[in-house]
Amino acid sequence: MAIPVSAPELLNPLGEISQLVDCMESTGEIDLTVVPKLSIVMSHARTNLEFWRTATDVSKETAFVEYHAWRNIFLVLSVMKDRFEHASAMHENPEVAAEANAVLPSVFVAISLLYEIPPREIGDRERSQILERLRTLRSAALRSNMSPSLNQELADVDVQDLRNRLAGLAQTIGTELVEG
Amino acid sequence: MKAKVLVDTNVLVASSVRALISEFKVDVKHLFFDISMTLISLIREHVDKRIGVVTARIETEAHNVLERAVLDELKKAGGDYTSLSAVLNICSDRLRRHLQDMTREPVEQDRVDQWFMKTSAFFALQKQRMELMDLKTIRSVAREKARFSVSKRFREIGEQIRMGEEVGSYYQLTRLRYRPVKTNDMWILAEAAYLKQYYEKEAYVKFYLASNDQHLSPVLDDEGQAISTKITDEIEKEFGIRCDWPDRVSAEFEKSLAED
């Protein structure tokens, strides 16, 4: 099974983004050419997440973990893109470059890991490894204000389904949900 | 007086499972969300006092619980991945924010292992106590107590009342019959014992273990009054650690903070 977007297609533009951000951090000026580059990586991440959404050649758990990983990469990059676009208006120049620089290595490592493990060989251990890597990414995003807002998180979500899923999760951990 | 509270995995998980989406009038939460948040909020409010403590094991385990639950839910119900991914993100982010307010203490694993041997032996002993306390024994204890505290005239009804009280008071122990202690409970108690000993190298520390688990915290009635503390009391006697529910630990802390 071949993942639609290859590793270099993602990692090369990500490397260019990283160089641009380094440059912005040292000059203290925002370079908006970073925005279309981020759009390219986001679009590739979306292609991959759609692939995993419907993948049937692997277990559901593997497909979900891969999907979840690409969705998180997409979400974090979309926050980063929004912040660069609005940096001047929000007077976030040059903090946004420093904060992007704090998150990009985790994005890079997460993507590398997703390509490093052949999907058919993913077992419990590899799934844990991917989820652990995502924790690092989300923590870096949270610390650097690159974490998606609730609205961004829920953009494609059926809220009723989310509620049912949360109830299922609660049941699995041995409790029930109550109304707030 | 210095005081610390080791926050159990189940408190961190309970305080992380919530979906509040005002736009869709959705507000659902874990059954123990409110009592767990009482403590988390207090720790956050007094973050400079470094009250709340976790270990790497607790932190990892809390994340693992959420992730395993999501994968189990997927196996059970299947369906689209988007909502499950969002659920995991919302709960994990909440957990991450809680963890930011805690001190993550490193532990010397070989020392914790030594304590683990002690906590395992402790719970094995509790199991033996439970095996001795069958209904017949509890009844005879109740009868004896009634004999000394109730007049002859009311002895029969007195015995029944005492019987109810005794059965209730041993519940924390007798429930071990159908809910055995998990290895995780032994580990957290071992880490708590290690940390208490570590802190006390400098000065006495009042050490709490906040847990939503009745193997450690007292069994409460509907009004929140402790009805069975057999294991909790033994833990305090043996290890000097006060185990309690997060809201009750929080109330004690508030009292002592007010006194300071």
- pLDDT one-digit tens code per residue, A136-156: 999 999 999 999 999 999 998
Beta carbons of B96 and A139 less than 8 Å apart? yes
Please list the ranges in chain B whose pLDDT falls under 70: 1, 150, 155
Tens-place pLDDT, residues A13-58: 999 999 999 999 999 899 999 999 999 999 999 999 999 999 988 9
Do B183 and B172 lie in one domain? The reply is no
Beta carbons of B17 and A169 less than 8 Å apart? yes
Which pLDDT does position B1 carry in this prediction? 67
Do B84 and B185 lie in one domain? The reply is yes
Mean pLDDT of the region A53-79:
95
Q: Can you tell me the distance from the alpha carbon of B255 to that of A169, in angstroms, rounded to the nearest whole number?
A: 36
3 state SS of A175: coil
In chain B, the N- to C-terminal Cα span, in Å, equals 8
- Whether residue A179 is predicted with pLDDT greater than 80 in this model: the reply is yes
Which pLDDT does position A89 carry in this prediction? 80
B182 reaches A (C-beta below 8 A): no
The amino acid occupying position A156 is: D
Q: Which domain holds residue B211?
A: 2-111+179-259
Task: Provide the whole-model pTM.
Answer: 0.91
Do B63 and B170 lie in one domain? The reply is no
Residues of B in contact with A129 (CB under 8 A): none
B 190-219 residues with CB below 8 A of A? none
Do B29 and B130 lie in one domain? The reply is no
Which pLDDT does position A48 carry in this prediction? 96
Structural domain total, chain B: 2
Do B7 and B101 lie in one domain? The reply is yes
Which pLDDT does position B25 carry in this prediction? 82
Beta carbons of A169 and B24 less than 8 Å apart? no
Q: Quick one: which H or E segment has residue B114?
A: helix B109-132
Tokens, residue B219: 């069994």
Which pLDDT does position B193 carry in this prediction? 98
Cβ neighbours of B78 (radius 10 Å): 9
Tens-place pLDDT, residues A98-126: 999 999 999 999 999 999 988 888 899 99
Mean pLDDT of the region A165-177:
87
Do B92 and B31 lie in one domain? The reply is yes
Tokens, residue B136: 């017949």
Q: Quick one: which H or E segment has residue B52?
A: strand B52-54
Which pLDDT does position B213 carry in this prediction? 95
Q: Which of B153, B177, B201 is the last residue of a domain?
A: B177
CB contact at 8 A, B172 and B230: yes
